Amino acid sequence: MGNEERQMQFADVNDDVVRSLTETGRSYYIALATAIFVMLACFFFPWFYQLYYGIGAAGMNHPTVWGTYLASFVFWIGLSHSGTLLSCVLHITNSEWRKAMYRSAEAMTLFSLMVAATMVMVHVGRPWFIHWALPYPNQMELWPNFRSPLMFDVMAITTYVTGSLIFIYMGSIPDFAAVRDRTTGWRHHLYVLLSLGWRGTDTEWHRLGWAYTFLAVLIIPLAVSVHSIVSWDFAMSLVPGLHQTIFAPYFVVGAIYSGTAGIVTVMYVLRKYMNFEHFITKLHFDNLGKLLLVLSLIWTYINILELFTGWFSGTSTEYEQLKYKLFGFYAPLYWEMILFCAVAPLLLISKKFRTSFVPMLILSIAINIGMYTERFLIIGATLSRQYLPNAWRVYVPSLVEISILVGSLATFITLFLLFVKIFPSVSIYEVKETMETPKSKKGDTEWQAAH
């Protein structure tokens, strides 16, 4: 941590975090009201319109039967990948810089997963039959097919949502206790319930440390499996451009990449608007920037590999797919993706760039625009150009689909805005751990030497 944090006292951390929960300015309410309004107008209204008039309201049709809804689903699942996953990896590797930012990153995971789940609901057209995906006895003799990657998805995402929720909650229990002591009214009752009677005894800390580490160890392979499975939704088909073995690592790297960029965006907003300058410093942006640089290079490598394997396959359908991707109708989107996700991140080589807040914010947003484009191209562009030329068709999302995409972002922002007023968005106890522990006034250590 930087010098500014060293001057802070333990009590200042409690004060700052409790203040972020209890003191709410007008700008917060304006932001929340806007987010809710956009969510209702751009997400729920078009969705109800689509439910009323049928799935034809979306621009999907043969052969592009999967469109922006699933691109958004993959995007949101991807965005979820850095929060909990990164937090777990950094926890196990004892990275001190994780401590100020992991709570918000984990919340990002949770809310992206929720939004991703709603995108599936929107995509299926008749969401009132969603329970058919659950194995329960019924007179239709209808059971899910566990050989299908779609069912793998249901299992993996359910596990991931459960794991992420538990992970963020468990790490927050000591903070709920700290906030409990400082609040009144309904907030106090809420934190009494959430803190479970935590007192901070040596036994409780010991158990929490173990359980938290176990959870981290369990969640890392889980997160990797989730996006691998999402990739198999596509890779297990026989569509040229999708049927590729590289897809699982490609998706996992892409997910961590866009998730890390998402963390940079969220950190900027928290730092700027929640007054967390003391906690989220240049060091965090520097480290996240290094991580983004490495991920962008891996992502670029896999993209080159994808082109190479397509060319090396020697089949006409793969050639056609490659040609279409690089020079066809969607080519501008492809080159925009390359610019945002492979070329622009090279700026991160410069430390000055990594430690500049506004350029980092702009780059992180650009990366996520590029990553959304990637998902759109994987689904929309690939399905547009399959085997037979008479089945080729250009897919352009309808207004309903575009609106729902914008609305999904507003849903995420709404959830996040509610989160910052309920959860301590910076971990009180872990930030304290990074600070200098109070030293004995006597400087007395003979007892420890004697025993």
Partner 1 sequence: MASSALGLFHDPDSALKAAGDLMHAGFARPELLSPIPVHGADEVLGPKKSVIKRFTFFGGIFGALAGFSLAAGTAVLYLHPTGGRPIITIPPFLIITYEMTILFGILATVLGFLISARLPAIRERLYVPEVAVDKFAVTVVCDTQDNFGRAEAILCAAGAEEVRNLNEDGS
Residues that bind partner 1 (CB under 8 A): 9-11, 14, 135, 141, 143-148, 151-152, 155-156, 158-159, 162-163, 166, 170, 173-174, 177-178, 180-182, 196-211, 214-215, 218-219, 221-222, 225, 229, 428-429, 432-433, 437-442, 444-445, 447-448, 451
- Nearest alpha-carbon partner for 332 in 303, 362, 373, 298: 373
What's the CA gap between 382 and 317, in Å, rounded? 11
- Rounded least distance, CB 312 to partner 1, Å: 26
User: Least distance to partner 1 from the beta carbon of 399, Å?
Assistant: 37
Per the structure block, which two tokens stand in for 263? 């963390």
Q: Which residue has the tokens 């080519």?
A: 331
**Crossing angle for the helix pair 282-313 and 247-273, nearest 10 degrees?**
160
Nearer to partner 1, 26 or 439 (CB): 439
Instruction: Give the shortest CB-447-to-partner 1 separation in angstroms.
Output: 4
The identity of residue 53, as a single letter, is Y
In angstroms, the CA 199 to CA 189 distance is 16
Distance of CA 424 to the CA centre of its chain: 19
Q: Which is nearer to partner 1, 29 or 143 (CB)?
A: 143
Shortest Å distance, C-beta 163 to partner 1: 5
Minimum distance of partner 1 from residue 92's CB (angstroms)? 15
Nearest-angstrom CA–CA distance, 184 and 209:
29
User: Is 62 or 147 the residue whose CB approaches partner 1 more closely?
Assistant: 147
Nearer CB in complex with partner 1: 178/270: 178
Nearer to partner 1, 44 or 198 (CB): 198
* Euclidean distance between CA atoms 153 and 140, whole angstroms: 23
Q: Tell me the two tokens of residue 86.
A: 């990164």
26 vs 199, beta carbon nearer partner 1: 199
Residues 6+ apart with CB under 8 A from 218: 163
Token reading at 313: 């396959």
Distance (Å, whole) CA 72 – CA 405: 7
Q: Which of 10, 346, 393, 28 is nearest to 178 (CA)?
A: 10
Q: Are 330 and 324 in contact (CB under 8 A)?
A: yes
Cα–Cα distance for residue pair 242/232, rounded to 1 Å: 9
* Distance separating alpha carbons of residues 167 and 105, to the nearest angstrom: 12
The residue among 4 and 433 lying less far from partner 1, judged by its C-beta, is 433
Q: Which is nearer to partner 1, 220 or 418 (CB)?
A: 220
Cβ nearer to partner 1, comparing 155 with 369: 155
- The least distance separating partner 1 from the CB of residue 21, rounded to whole angstroms, comes to 14
Q: From the CB of 187, what's the least distance to partner 1, in Å?
A: 15
CB of 220 to partner 1, least distance (A): 10
Token duo for residue 234: 């596509």
399-422 vs 26-38: helix crossing angle, rounded to 10: 150
Q: Is residue 35 within 8 Å of 417, Cβ to Cβ?
A: yes
Closer to partner 1 by Cβ: residue 34 or 158: 158
| Least distance (Å) between residue 61 CB and partner 1 | 28
CB-side neighbour CA atoms (13 Å) of 377: 25
Helix boundaries (H) for 57-132:
68-92, 102-124
Least distance from partner 1 to the Cβ atom of residue 320, Å: 28
Is the CB of 204 or the CB of 336 nearer to partner 1?
204
Dump the DSSP string for 358-402: HHHHHHHHHHHHHHHHHHHIIIIIHHHS-S-GGG-------HHHH
- Residue 136 CB, nearest approach to partner 1 (Å): 11
In sequence order, which ranges of 243-315 are alpha helices (DSSP H)? Answer: 247-273, 282-313
